[in-house]
Chains A and B, each alone.
Chain A
Amino acid sequence: MEKLIALLIAAPLLGAAVLLLGGRRLDRVGHWIGTLLSTASFVFGLVLFTDLLGRNAEHRTLIQHLWTWIPVEGFQADVTFRLDQLSMTFVLLITGVGSLIHLYSVGYMEHDERRRRFFGYLNLFLAAMLLLVLADNYLLLYVGWEGVGLASYLLIGFWQHKPSAATAAKKAFLVNRVGDMGLSIAIMLMFTTFGSFAFGPVFGHVDGASQGKLTAIGLMLLLAACGKSAQVPLQSWLGDAMEGPTPVSALIHAATMVTAGVYLIVRSAAVFDAAPDAQLAVTVVGAVTLLFGAIVGCAKDDIKKALAGSTMSQIGYMVLAAGLGPIGYVFAIMHLVTHGFFKAGLFLGAGSVMHGMNDEVDMRRYGGLRKYMPVTFVTFGLGYLAIIGFPGLSGFFSKDKIIEAAFAKGGTEGWILGGAALVGAAITAFYMTRVMLMTFFGEERWKNQATRSPEAPSAEPAAEHRGETAEPHPHESPKVMTIPMIVLAVGSVFGGGFFSIGDRFLYWLEPVTGHSEGHSPVSAGEVTAATMVCLVIGVAVAWAQYGRKPVPAVAPRGSLLTRAARRDLLQDDFNHVVLVRGGEHLTRSLVYLDHTLVDGVVNGTAAGFGGLSGRLRRLQNGFARSYAVSMFGGAALLVAATLLMRAV
């Protein structure tokens, strides 16, 4: 059964190779090849899953050793895969959601002439992501990690003719490099500390390592997680990444890749459990990000960017839960899975809306679309209810558990983290209701485009690029797009309940991550009640602002906070002032130093040797007599030196 694990990765990798190397010949069938191989991988996943279910909990770890990658004395890197409950969960999420999104893309990318290449990249992403979650050592994980970074870069910049997309791709790549550095440093630290970077030896020897080293490793892993999962302070790339085609946003920048950081932290549970300081940092990052993302999500008029803020915020929840240790690991992953369903569904819904609205993304030019896109409306609406945590739906179960776990952390920390999570829940309800109302309810603001003010900020260059100025004719998307949305909506509705009832998910994952109940100062019922109150407040405020009053087609100036939030809470300004300007000053001074000092020394040395050479050269005057004298002098010196040596 272990032999199947490699096939999980091999299928999409083969797809990527065939599609990217196959050339134009495959243009007509390429998308189906990609979808087929992605589905094949999903089927392998299901086979393995049933096999795992048939085993006892303690025998559910499958190891497949393929070959030794770097066989150096004292530095052993193997290509070995580990399939346990944690990676199995990810495999199903990645291949399942991935296959649905492949299917959706068949319709969404129908008119794009580079569709084959798009599917090649999607397959490449699946292969890399599967490698990431199946690797049995950090070095191999790093390969997958870089692979998904590459796929993300290629896909964000897929519409490379748009300068904004090219810039966004570059930005995502650069910011991710910072996180990647963290991961590579963490791997090096592991090697110096444990003499290995394979999961077994590292986790097995945590007890013997010093606290300082473990904290350093933990913080470096956190840095890596921040980069990939768009957590503060490396969050700035995610909003811009929405420049990519919407299926990409759904698959990579909502459901799977951005959760790699959470995977990394949960996988490294042994390290974090032994380094409480690093754990605290993880919870702080998570709490800050969940509020940060939520606030940004409230102010965005671009539907995808609002959803991106929401993604950031929801991953903040997961990171927060992962930082809580054994209290939270299971719920971090559970929220990750349910979020994978409903966020992918929401993005696909957003894509469907854009598809029907001539690629318009500004919600202020939507409105009343429920009549025109009933399927999209219903699936999106179910996703919406799931994400705000409507009782009975997926998000309700998973988010509620995280808030409970945050309180269960205990002490002041517990109150602060729990409070932040509660506030986040209220804001989530607010911004998601806002998205819902602006898109599907209210007046149809897309009629009478003439009212559009010429000064209106252009939120979406794509619309201009495609030269769409005519009034859109909203319509429902084709079946190939709606079917994945329906499937995901089903997952959004029932996933959480299925996992939570009878603690199925807990028992499934516990052998890998461990679990403890913690000591909550408040009861589960009280937390649920508080969450409900927050939910109602959030929805009510949003209704008051966007449901009762008409939504202006041009954004009002807004408060200081709103304006800051529209600019992503000044993240780019901060980066510009601190990093870009600072970097410029640093490079300028270094260049100056290089020119004066380094070049001075180098050129001086060169000139010195040149001069010396010219002078020595004159000794070579061509006269045999001078040469003989030189030899004689040399011989005399040789003899004298030899005699002197003995005398000394």
Chain B
Amino acid sequence: MSTPAVHSLWTTAADRIPQIGAPKIEYGQLSPTLIIIGAALVGVLVEAFVPRRSRYYAQVFVSVVALCAAFAAVLGLAADGYGTTKAHIAAMGAIAVDGPSLFLQGTIVLAGLVGLFTFAERRLDPAAHGNRVDSFAAQAAAVPGSDAEKAAVKAGFTTTEVFPLLLFAVAGMLVFTSANDLLTLFVALEVFSLPLYLLCALARRKRLMSQEAAVKYFLLGAFASAFTLFGIALLYGYAGSVSYARIAQVVDGSVTDVNPALAGTMGNDALLLLGGALLVMGLLFKVGAVPFHMWTPDVYQGAPTPVTGFMAAATKVAAFGALLRLLYVVLPGMRWDWRPVMWAVAIVTMLGGAIVAITQTDIKRLLAYSSIAHAGFILAGVIATSKNGVSSVLFYLAGYSFVTIGAFAVVTLVRDAGGEATHLSKWAGLGRRSPLVAAVFAVFLLAFAGIPLTSGFAGKFAVFKAAAAGGAAPLVVIGVISSAIAAFFYIRVIVLMFFSEPKPQGPTVAVPSPLTMLAIGLGVAVTLVLGVAPQYFLDLATQASVFVR
């Protein structure tokens, strides 16, 4: 295919009356997404046709192959220069293939892969009736505590549908970060949200809590989606188009011709402001920024822990990717309007997350509030509105996602009779009993706290540096104060693990399969590599920090 031709088609389309023709799709450039979607569909067929006994292995195989292939495809595209010189807009203007989208897609695919390892873990729970079981309900449709559930457990059912669900979510996220028009954005949002709602409901233990979390997530997610959709509608009314480039041109005034059908609304700034704000709100909901964060602790706590880890990492990457693109590509012309508002959001998010985390007693809720505070730190980099702002956010997200999945994977290991022992009091003295696990967790906590020689420090430093250079020095000061507050509760957990007496009937640390070990090991390795030698990856992020318009 010829790139200039596509380009000219897209630019001239705005000037002429659109002609209906066969859509031109660059399958090669969309291959990461297509591979994942294809594998997810294969996963559905596996559910339908492969005998129950073999499904788990088939699903794991398909998913791993698909994710590896997708990652290879991302690398191939990047090596071909699609991240830099050949960056352009594909699929009739719907998908941007550029540095940020490839970097984020790579991150999401890797997060999906590591998350998959924790999904596939089957050695932590004691075998039920001779069957190895994972973290997911035996039969999602069975009422908790009912005879049907018991029968399902006895029969050794497992919900292997989680693997295609994960793949669908990943596919949605891949599109979400690269969506280049508002409709694609919205469709991608729903494609990755719906599987996540489902996954949240599938916990094997504490099923009522899990289902409650899922319902809350679904209700609030639908509520947020409605805002998003409304915002999209208003923006269409303002610009007469859902294409990012077209809206951006209208915002900065380089296109003034009016669509006769929209003569009454086009160019009306109130619509732009209203629509922009609502759209941004929808994305802030997904990243978990205050005051749209309320779902986070409840859902993180209730969802099966592997799902929480995957969701916390990948959703954040995808949502920040979309937010970056929206603010840098669509709305740079109105940055004087959105920057002060985002300042306020970043400040309350950093402080709110850090302060409320102080009094948390459940490790999963603690990590949830920590993720809120981190959303605030990343927002500080977003606000920088500079190339360095983009690269620092990309770097931060990459480092953060591995730490998060690793940390939640460690949470799955600490168990007592009731499953995972998430109450903090049970973690007392863990360092004496299981020094290795406690030390690994301490590494993750130090990375969350942003201590030097961990990826957390390098990321935070890059983000704050970009923010300060972008004229947001007060934000950086508040960010540092929040980090200090946050350091308190991270270090407190370390103190609890290493300097408290172990409880007599405390939890035990289960020995996981190599899958979880791989997930945790990768987390530690990435955390240390990005912390000790961040420059290569910072350079990589800098190369990948230009959005195509």
A residues in contact (CB < 8 Å) with B: 606, 609-610, 612-614, 616-617, 619-620, 622, 624, 626-628, 630-631, 633-635, 637-639, 641-643, 645-646
Q: Which residues of A contact B461 (CB under 8 A)?
A: none
- In the complex the two chains form, is B298's CB within 8 Å of A622's CB? yes
- Check if B274 sits within 8 Å of A643, measured CB to CB: yes
Main secondary structure of the interface of B (DSSP, over half): helix
- Measured between C-beta atoms, what is the minimum distance from B245 to chain A in Å? 22
Interface pair B340/A609, CB less than 8 Å apart: no
Q: Does the CB pair B355–A641 fall under 8 Å?
A: no
**Contacts A627-B216, A630-B294 given; does A642 touch B341 at CB 8 Å:** yes
Q: Which residues of B contact A634 (CB under 8 A)?
A: 281, 290-292
- Other-chain contact of A609, B223, B278, B355 (Cβ < 8 Å): B355
Complex contacts, A630 vs chain B, CB 8 Å: 291-292, 294
20 A/B residue pairs, CB under 8 Å, sorted by A = A613-B355, A613-B356, A620-B297, A622-B298, A627-B216, A627-B294, A631-B224, A631-B281, A631-B291, A631-B292, A634-B281, A634-B290, A635-B281, A638-B341, A639-B273, A641-B341, A642-B274, A643-B270, A643-B274, A646-B269
- The complex places the Cα of A617 from the Cα of B352 at a distance, in Å, of 10
Q: Is the interface of A mostly helix, strand, loop or mixed?
A: helix
Q: Assuming A613-B358, A620-B297, A641-B344, is B273 touching A646 (CB within 8 A)?
A: yes
Interface residue from B215, B345, B488 paired with A624 (Cβ < 8 Å): B215
Complex: how many Å from CA A610 to CA B355?
8
Query: Is the C-beta of B56 less than 8 angstroms from some C-beta in chain A?
Result: no
Asked if residues A620 and B356 are in contact (CB atoms below 8 Å), the reply is yes
Contacts of A637 in B (CB 8 A): 291
Would you give the 0/1 interface string for B330-368, flagging 1 where the beta carbon is closer than 8 Å to chain A?
Answer: 000000111011001100000010011111100000000
Residues in B whose Cβ lies below 8 Å from that of A606 = 488
Is the pair A642, B292 in contact by a Cβ cutoff of 8 Å?
no
Q: B294 is contacted by which of A610, A626, A635 (Cβ under 8 Å)?
A: A626
Cβ-defined contact, A635 with B358, below 8 A: no
Q: Known interface pairs A620-B297, A638-B277, A646-B337. Does A631 touch B223 (Cβ–Cβ under 8 Å)?
A: yes
* Chain B, residue nearest A610 (CB): B358
Give the residues from 277 to 314 in chain B that come closer than 8 angstroms, CB to CB, to chain A.
Answer: 277-278, 280-281, 285, 290-292, 294-295, 297-298
B418-446 vs A, CB cutoff 8 Å, 1 = contact: the mask equals 00000000000000000000000000000
Chain B residue numbers with a CB within 8 Å of A641 are 340-341, 344
Say if the beta carbon of B480 comes within 8 Å of chain A.
no
A139 to B8 CA separation, bound complex (whole angstroms): 65
Q: Does B329 contact A (CB under 8 A)?
A: no
CA distance A609 to B486 in the complex (A): 11
**Cβ proximity bits B251-291 to A, threshold 8 Å, 1 near / 0 not:** 00000000000000000011001101110110001000011
Q: Which chain A residues lie closer than 8 Å to B359 at the CB level? A: 610, 613-614, 617
Does B183 lie at the interface of the complex (its beta carbon under 8 Å from any beta carbon of A)? no
A642, B227: Cα distance in complex, Å: 16
- B residues near A613, Cβ cutoff 8 Å: 355-359
Question: B233: CB under 8 A from chain A?
Answer: no
Instruction: Give the residues in chain A near B224, CB-CB below 8 Å.
Output: 631
Docked pose: A641 CA to B273 CA in angstroms: 10
- Bound complex: CA A609 to CA B215 (Å): 32
In the assembled complex, B469 has its CB within 8 A of some CB on chain A: no
> Most chain-A CB neighbours within 10 Å: which of B219, B227, B345, B355?
B355
A-side contacts of B341, CB under 8 Å: 638, 641-642, 645
A619–B290 CA distance with the chains assembled, in angstroms: 12
Is B220 an interface position by the 8 A CB rule?
yes
Closest to B289 in A: A634
Give the distance in Å from the alpha carbon of A637 to the alpha carbon of B345 in the complex.
10
Name which of A614, A619, A631 has the most chain B CB atoms within 10 A of its CB.
Answer: A631
Do B294 and A638 touch across chains, with their CB atoms under 8 A apart? no
* Cβ–Cβ contact A620 & B294, under 8 A: yes
Residue from B219, B273, B338 having most chain A Cβ neighbours under 10 A: B273
Interface: B485 (CB within 8 A): yes
Q: How far is the CA of A612 from the CA of B359 in the complex (A)?
A: 10
Residues in chain A near residue B337, CB distance under 8 A? 642, 645-646
Distance in angstroms between the alpha carbons of A617 and B366 in the assembled complex = 12
Please give the distance in Å from B348's CB to the nearest CB on chain A: 9
Give the residues in chain A near B215, CB-CB below 8 Å: 624
Cβ–Cβ < 8 Å partners of A610 in chain B:
358-359
Asked if B356 and A617 make an inter-chain contact with CB atoms under 8 angstroms apart, the answer reads: yes
What residues of chain A lie closer than 8 Å to B278, measured between beta carbons? 635, 638-639
Q: Chain A residues with Cβ under 8 A from B270's Cβ? A: 643
A31, B48: Cα distance in complex, Å: 86
Q: Is the CB of B216 within 8 A of A624?
A: yes
Complex-state Cα separation, A614 to B277, whole angstroms: 31
When chains A and B are docked, how far (Å) is the Cα of A613 from the Cα of B354?
9
Query: Inside 8 A of B295's CB, which chain A residues have their CB?
Result: 627
A646 to B331, CA, bound (A): 14
| Structural contact, B352 and A635, CB atoms closer than 8 A | no
Q: Chain B's nearest CB lies how many Å from the CB of A481? A: 55
Contacts of B357 in A (CB 8 A): 613
Which of B216, B277, B360 contacts A642 (CB under 8 A)? B277
Report Cα–Cα, A121/B398, bound state, in Å. 52
A645, B336: Cβ atoms closer than 8 Å: yes
What 1/0 mask marks residues of chain B from 129 to 142 whose CB sits below 8 Å from any chain A CB? 00000000000000
- Of the candidates B227, B352, B359, the one having the most CB atoms from chain A within 10 angstroms of its own CB is B359
Task: List the A side residues contacting B280 at CB < 8 Å.
Answer: 638
Closest to A622 in B: B298
Expressed in whole angstroms, the Cα–Cα distance for A628 and B293 within the complex equals 10
Q: Which of A609, A628, A642 counts the most B-chain CB atoms under 10 A from its CB?
A: A642
CB distance from B265 to the nearest CB of A (A): 16
- CB neighbours (8 Å) of B219 from chain A are 624, 628
Q: How far is the CA of A622 from the CA of B337 in the complex (A)?
A: 34
- State A633–B345 Cα separation when bound (angstroms): 13
Question: CA A620 – CA B336 in complex, angstroms?
Answer: 33
Q: Is the CB of B285 within 8 A of A631?
A: yes
Give Cα A77–Cα B415 distance, bound, in whole angstroms: 55
A646-B340 Cα distance, complex, nearest whole Å:
11
Nearest opposing residue in chain A for B344, CB measure: A641
Q: What residues on B are CB-neighbors of A646 within 8 Å?
A: 269, 273, 337
B291 and chain A: residue at smallest CB distance: A634
> Is the pair B356, A627 in contact by a Cβ cutoff of 8 Å?
no
Q: Are B216 and A609 in contact (CB under 8 A)?
A: no
Report chain A residues within 8 Å CB of B340: 641, 645
Assess whether B227 is in contact with A635, with CB atoms less than 8 Å apart. yes
Q: In the complex, which residues of chain B have a beta carbon less than 8 angstroms from the beta carbon of A617?
A: 356, 359-360
Cα of A622 to Cα of B213 in the assembled complex, Å: 10
In the bound complex, residues from chain A placing their C-beta under 8 Å from that of B344 are: 641
Identify the interface centre among A606, A617, A626: most chain B CB within 10 Å of its CB. Answer: A617
- For A616, the closest partner residue in chain B by CB is B356
In the complex, A646 Cα to B272 Cα: how many Å?
Answer: 11
> In whole Å, how far is B218's beta carbon from the nearest beta carbon of chain A?
9
Residues of chain A lying within 8 A (CB to CB) of residue B352: 616
User: B298 to chain A: which residues have CB within 8 Å?
Assistant: 620, 622
Rounded to whole Å, the gap between the CB of B290 and the closest CB of chain A is 8
A-chain residues with CB within 8 Å of residue B485 when the two chains form the complex: 609
Chain B residue with Cβ nearest A648: B340
